[in-house]
Homo-oligomer: A and B are copies of this chain.
């Protein structure tokens, strides 16, 4: 059994891990570490899991945190993981971080990300950056297997990257501006209450925000550029939708002259056939965010628009699963040599 500890069990990310681990055949949760609620029973924080865990929330500076543990998950806001990582990493414990702290291997790349969040642009543990790997399992399996630290991708980012990776890898599109028009459910904003996400303010409301300035743009750009072999430009518009779980990213690129519809489909099949969590759909097959809800799946509708010579991809994920805890567990499975679907092969719930 893999012994896992979770820093930040009270947020949606930590809760997602706990739900998955309650039925993961190879993982035992040996500790939960928090800031608030230290000393209280975990079940007070996640009452629906009371039958599954009997754990007390420990403080971040509890000396036993680094004992009896093979992997630690930092399901914490930006800035926490980079400060708390070394105590675990130094002892050879593997680490998966949910924030942007370990999504970049270079300090200057991190600085751009941090700037978009108006945070300190200096990374707190630059020495750890070479040990980290970006956690899109489908693109970086080999590196993830060897990495000690995985920077779990941003929820918007993974939906865009998976949606366009095959087209980028086969350089099917113009060195043009890619457009990522992304819609997220409210859980993407986390568990902390705010006026914007107060029920009466949100139940019948939608809006775009951080126009051209959202921090996830850097991960998307880097990954697609790496696949293309050269720098790409892109616009990314985040929008909040009154539902709880789900990201729908509508992705537009202009195809290079002569690229056929067959070439597009071939690129996607080449990359994704055999992937356990990705499935391709034609526009006449009904698809919607509810189909992937509660699962680690990323489902893609692909449409080639001949008259406009554009490729249109609609990418659907559950932001708390493939966009967060699900990806984290998939990455952990890779790190420990388990089947990637281990603990993730359960159905969603409908309706």
Q: Which residues of chain A have a CB within 8 Å of any CB of chain B? A: 12, 15, 18-19, 22-23, 46-49, 51-52, 177, 179, 181, 183, 185-187, 191-195, 197-208, 211-212, 233-235, 237, 239, 241-246, 248, 250, 252, 254, 283, 286-295, 301, 303, 305, 307-308, 310, 312, 314, 346-351
Contact = CB atoms under 8 A, between A and B. Distances in A.
B204 A245 contact: yes
Contact of A193 (B12, B194, B288): B194
Given A200-B244, A243-B206, A244-B351, A22 B346 contact: yes
Given A177-B310, A252-B179, A349 B204 contact: no
Given A12-B200, A52-B347, A193-B194, A241 B244 contact: no
A211 B305 CA distance: 9
Given A48-B290, A241-B241, 10 more contacts: A48-B350, A177-B254, A193-B193, A193-B194, A204-B351, A206-B288, A212-B303, A235-B310, A242-B242, A244-B351
Please give me the 7 A-B residue pairs with the lowest Cβ-Cβ distance, nearest first.
A207-B288, A200-B351, A193-B193, A205-B290, A181-B181, A193-B198, A186-B199
A213 to B, nearest CB: 8
21 contacts: A46-B350, A48-B290, A48-B348, A179-B252, A181-B181, A187-B200, A187-B351, A191-B200, A192-B198, A199-B242, A201-B290, A203-B203, A203-B243, A204-B204, A205-B243, A205-B290, A207-B288, A208-B248, A211-B312, A233-B308, A235-B310
A237 B250 contact: yes
